[in-house]
Homo-oligomer: A and B are copies of this chain.
């Protein structure tokens, strides 16, 4: 079951010729989960042939223009293409006013239901059968959230030979056990799933900080993440500037990854001043070797843990 992260935009605040404004797409079993929606995201989606008619959620970290101004264009294009599926949008207070203001002043008729949810507290933002999305407060110059996407544990491997040796007939009873329910066989012989299955297998976890100073809540959110996508607007020499503006440096992002025991780190929200990723990469990999600097349209596959 594939879980793919596509960097649609890796710029910080101002786009460049090679970096579009912030947008991180997760593609999971045909569903799209988009974190932030900077200007230009619809063309970036076209460039990766993602499509506009999939099940989709959008999660906005904060209401700065560079993170949200691509939203109206997506809504318009989806409507022009006749989308019918609901689009869920989550973000901080002010998101509802923004969407409403655009809808009033720019004339497009939505062809689909739009569900806007403003997040009031840290914790679970939305929960599906197979995954949940949680948030923690980020430390930025305005209210901002960092998000985690966490798959729930999958049932362990089923062993047909054990089921057969216990005399369980193939069919409905096997399914029940595979779905985690105990069954009763014959005269009150209770059979538990763990008699025919291995332990549950962990799901995958992705964390995206949005714009933020590195902080303890981010470390907690990123705990054991398979992939941490972290603000890295400035290099280490500009640590003071980063702090003032509510951003992070390579060393800070790397330390967060290290302390959270994350497996991989992607640095993003790269200031236009960095023409190549080498300096940022050098500073981060000293502390956390498994780091890359985000590059637009890069796709990262996260394999299922064994």
Question: A residues engaging B (CB < 8 A)?
Answer: 13-17, 20-21, 39-40, 42-43, 46-47, 63-66, 68-70, 72-73, 76-77, 80-81, 94, 97-98, 101-102, 104-108, 142
Interface pair B73/A39, CB less than 8 Å apart? yes
B107:A65 contact, CB within 8 angstroms = yes
Q: Is B17 touching A47 in the complex (CB atoms < 8 A)? A: yes
A68 → chain B closest CB, angstroms? 6
**Closest B-chain residue to A106, C-beta based?**
B65
Evaluate contact between B105 and A94: CB separation under 8 angstroms.
Answer: yes
Query: Could you tell me the distance between the alpha carbons of A217 and B73 in the complex, rounded to whole angstroms?
Result: 31
> Which B residues touch A63, using CB under 8 A?
105-107
With both beta carbons as reference points, the residue of chain B lying nearest to A94 in the complex is identified as B105
User: Is A46's CB under 8 angstroms from B16's CB?
Assistant: yes
Contact B69 A65 (CB under 8 A): no
A107 in contact with B39 given A13-B80, A69-B73, A101-B102 (CB within 8 Å): no
In this complex, what residue of B is CB-closest to A38?
B73
State the CA gap A47–B16 with chains docked (Å): 8
A-B pairs with beta carbons under 8 Å apart, 6 shown: A17-B43, A39-B72, A40-B43, A65-B106, A69-B69, A102-B102
Given A14-B80, A80-B14, are A106 and B69 also a contact pair (CB < 8 Å)? yes
Q: When chains A and B are docked, how far (Å) is the Cα of A65 from the Cα of B15?
A: 20
